[in-house]
Structure 1
Amino acid sequence: MLQAEEDLLVISAQRGNHKAFNLLVLTYQKSLLRFAYKLCHDHELANDAVQDCWIKVSKNLYQLKDPRVFKSWLYRTLKWRVTDLLRTQLRDKNKCDNRLNKDFTGNNQETDFEHTSDVKSERSNAINRLPAIEKQMIHLFYLDEMKLAEISIILDIPVGTVKSRLNRARKLLQQKFDLS
């Protein structure tokens, strides 16, 4: 979708056009779900976060002054919603742990799939093993194809910091592939 088309849809949705808002939802739903899942690794939590994000966006869209920043605003809203849900989930888990007075670390019985011949799977595994910040950078830049400035707005950090984090993520990935 061209930026001008998106801007017109946002303006229309701000004026109460439900069809325009639905088109925005259709345009971004899949990428928002991917982004939310990359942040939390839980399909249910990702779905809840995206749904909550759209509710918040529908209620606050009229406050958006510049339709050109809609995408960044949308992703930032989702990022904060996922963070809130993860925080709540952790708090609930800690309450449960304290009540039962048990350690739920359990046995780590994950199967090691990193040595498959499928290159795509190896890349995906390497990305998933990155620290959260670097994983987020790779996801936003390469998978969601966002510009550095958009990532800067979403994460509320300077563009230079985005560049350095992206560079660090690339180096970490390169090291992981060199060691294989």
Structure 2
Amino acid sequence: MRGDGTREHEGGEAGEIISLVRAATGGDRWSFERLVAIHQEALFRMVYARMQNRADAEDVVQDVFLSAYRGLASLRDPGLFRAWLYRIALNRVRDFMRRRRLASLFGLNHDEAPEDCPDSGPDEFDHLAASRFWAGLNGFLASLPSLQREVFRLRFLDHLGIQEIAAALGRNESTVKTHLYRAIEKFKVVGPRYGLPAQEES
């Protein structure tokens, strides 16, 4: 307990997440707000990377946390809260993109063009290099089958472990490992064509 009366947490530790999830499931609003604070930034990056529109991503993230709050009692394993949260997010992104495609099909889509990736620094050269990197990475991701693409993103961009990816996608760990291996092997071969350095998984 801090001197100001608030509880002190080490953000991101598994034990803390489990304790917060259990408390939030029992009706502790502060604990759920803490879970939001811990995961909001990473979840926004995950959603934004798939939608490329800040306003839409913010709306989806808000909807994800609302859905998580309402459905928290259905989470069987508090240790997989992040994976469960990302699974909700992936479903919401798919729903949103499906509606966007339908709107576009019927000429109802007036959304702005995708935004540029966030500036990586004040130097224009750094910004240009970052833009080229993300353009190359998006090109590589587009070349992958859908499941390989999602596994690769969740592992290397969202930093989920194999168990978390399996839970987020509703697949078994063996399937995740197989698709991750195939994506990595393809990255080694075609990554340089997109201006990307081929690297082994650390």
Q: TM-score, normalised by structure 1?
A: 0.79
The corresponding residue for 1:53 is: 64
Structure 1 gaps, min length 5 = 98-115
Distance in 2 of aligned mates of 1:133 and 1:35:
16
Query: What is the identity percentage for the equivalent residue pairs of Structure 1 and Structure 2?
Result: 28
1:52 Cα deviation (Å)?
0.5
CA contact (8 A) 1:127 1:135 kept: no
Aligned length: 164
Per-residue deviation, 1:174: 2.0
Structure 1 residue 121: Cα displacement: 5.2
Counterpart of 2:7 in structure 1 is none
Q: What is the root-mean-square deviation in Å for CA atoms of aligned residues?
A: 2.5
1:68-107 alignment runs, 5 A limit: 68-96=79-107
User: What does the per-residue CA deviation read over 1:137-164, in whole Å, with 9 as the maximum and x for residues that have no partner?
Assistant: 2321123221111101111122222122
Letter of the aligned partner of 2:86 in structure 1? Y
Q: Whose helix fraction is larger, Structure 1's or Structure 2's?
A: 1
TM-score (norm. length: structure 2)? 0.71
Runs of 4+ in 1 over 6 A off after TM superposition: 116-119
Q: Name whichever of 136-145 and 75-84 sits farther off.
A: 136-145
Q: Which runs of 5+ in 2 are unaligned?
A: 1-11, 109-124, 196-202
> Residues 13-162 of structure 1 correspond to what in structure 2 (within 5 A)?
13-96=24-107, 123-129=133-139, 130-131=141-142, 132-162=146-176
Q: State the secondary structure of the residue aligned to 1:145.
A: coil
Once the two structures are superposed, residues 67-107 of structure 1 have per-residue CA deviations (whole angstroms, 9 ceiling, x without a partner) of: 1121111100010011111111111121227xxxxxxxxxx
Letter in 1 for 2:105: N
